[in-house]
Amino acid sequence: MSAPLLTVEHLSVSFGGVKAVDDVSFQVGSGEIFAIIGPNGAGKTSIFNLVTRVFEAGGGRVTMRGKDITRVPRNDIVRFGIARTFQNIELFEGASVLDNLLLGRHRFPTGNLLQQIFYTPRVRHAEDAARDRAEDIIALLDLAPHRNSPVAGLPYGVRKVVEIGRALAAEPELLLLDEPASGLNPEETRDLAFWIEDIKKDMGITVVMVEHDMSLVAETADRVMVMNMGRVLTTGTPQQVQSHPEVVAAYLGA
């Protein structure tokens, strides 16, 4: 593996005496699909929250492309090339699908406030460019029929996809997907697997996903990390992990 994209070293956080994440270390290489699995409460989403600075780390370090991002302000994370989705969908309910995607592009400035109030040609071109990028994502994720629909009324599966699209709109290097397949039917999960492959191959984005759906993990992931009770059990390929005795005991069952 060449220089790792994301490095997590001895990361930990506690909530009132409960060690949600306990001395967790792992590395994610550029261009790979890395899955984190484990029973509920193992600390998987907490890892995401620590990396994206929703939680304040109690100890340890997170490095992205060699830069230490353990303490950067929360809204700066996206500028380091990290985008995420949320376990309980956090879409902008009052906006349309297109607006959600355009909001995903917020980190690309379009002009200062005065120019925006006067809607100068520069702003207009920036808006067109943003729309263009958003349309690429709409095309990739088959969202065209819903483009102008308010997000609030859409089916659950579509909303999950919109959230992935919004994260992609930020043009990240690292995409964190929190249980992307939860609540999706088998057909939607199959589509999701194809999209994750596309994201890796065509867009060159590294994906880290927290997932319970083992078939999706086995199909798409390059490497898997198993967590239990805040600690790492083991890391390896899906095949290695699936036959690991401790993993079977703690999570997969015989």
Partner 1 sequence: MENVTQIAQLTINGMSIGAIYGLVALGLVLTYKSTEVLNFAHGDVLMFSAFLGWGLIEGLGASFWLALPAAAIVAAAATWLLEQRVVRIIAGQPQFAGVMLTIGLAFMIRGMVSMGFGPESRNFTTPWAGQISHVGGIVIADLNLIIIAVTLVITAGLYGFLTRSAVGVAIQAASQNQLAAYLSGIRVKRLNSLVWGISGAIAAVSGMLLAPITMVDIGLWAVLLKGLAALVLGGFGSVRGAIVGGLLIGLIEQFSGVFLPDGFKDVMAYLVLIGVLIVWPRGLFSEAHGRRV
Partner 2 sequence: MRFPYDTAYADSRRLLRFTGQKLSYGALLLLLCAAPFVLPRFYVGELTYLFIFCLASLGLMVLTGYTGLVSLGHAAFVGIGAYTHAWLLGHGVPLFISLALAATASGIMGVVIGVPAIRISGLYLAIVTLAFSVLVEHAMGRWVSVTGGFSGLSVPAPEVFGVSLGGPKAFYFLCLACLILVLLGLINLTRTRPGRALVGVRDSEAAARSLGIHVAGYKVLAFKLSAAICGLAGGLMAHQTRFLTPEAFSMMLSMQLLLAVVIGGLGSLRGAILGAIVISLLPTAISHLKPLLSARLAGQSGLEVFMFGLVLTAFVLFEPKGINGRWLKVKAFFEYFPLYRRDTFRRTKAYMRSERYK
- The reply to whether 54 sits near partner 1 by the rule CB under 8 A is yes
- The reply to whether 85 sits near partner 1 by the rule CB under 8 A is no
- The reply to whether 68 sits near partner 1 by the rule CB under 8 A is no
Give the pair of three-digit tokens for residue 219: 């199909």
* φ/ψ bin of 43: left (φ > 0), alpha (ψ from -120 to 50), beta (otherwise): left
Which of partner 1, partner 2, none does residue 252 bind (CB under 5 to 8 Å by kind)? Answer: none
- The reply to whether 67 sits near partner 2 by the rule CB under 8 A is no
- The reply to whether 250 sits near partner 1 by the rule CB under 8 A is no
- The reply to whether 88 sits near partner 1 by the rule CB under 8 A is yes
Strand, coil or helix: what is 185? coil
Nearest CA among 163, 6, 7, 1 for reference residue 88: 163
Per residue, what are the HEC states of 95-158? CEHHHHHHHHCCCCCCCCHHHHHHCCHHHHHHHHHHHHHHHHHHHHCCCHHHCCCEHHHCCHHH
Per CB under 8 A, which region of 83-91, 185-193, 196-204, 213-221 contacts partner 2?
83-91
Backbone angles phi, psi at 141, to 5 degrees: -100, 15
Which residues, numbered 161-180, are part of the site for partner 2 (CB under 8 A)?
A: 166, 170
Give the pair of three-digit tokens for residue 155: 């089916």
Q: CA 124: distance to chain centroid?
A: 30
- The reply to whether 103 sits near partner 1 by the rule CB under 8 A is no
Pick from 61, 65, 107, 212: which binds partner 2 (CB under 8 A)?
Answer: 107
Which x/- pattern, by CB under 8 A, does the window 185-214 give for partner 2?
A: ------------------------------
**What residues make contact with partner 2 under the rule CB under 8 A?**
52, 54, 74-79, 83-84, 86, 90-95, 99, 102-104, 106-107, 109-111, 113, 116-119, 123-124, 127-128, 131-132, 166, 170
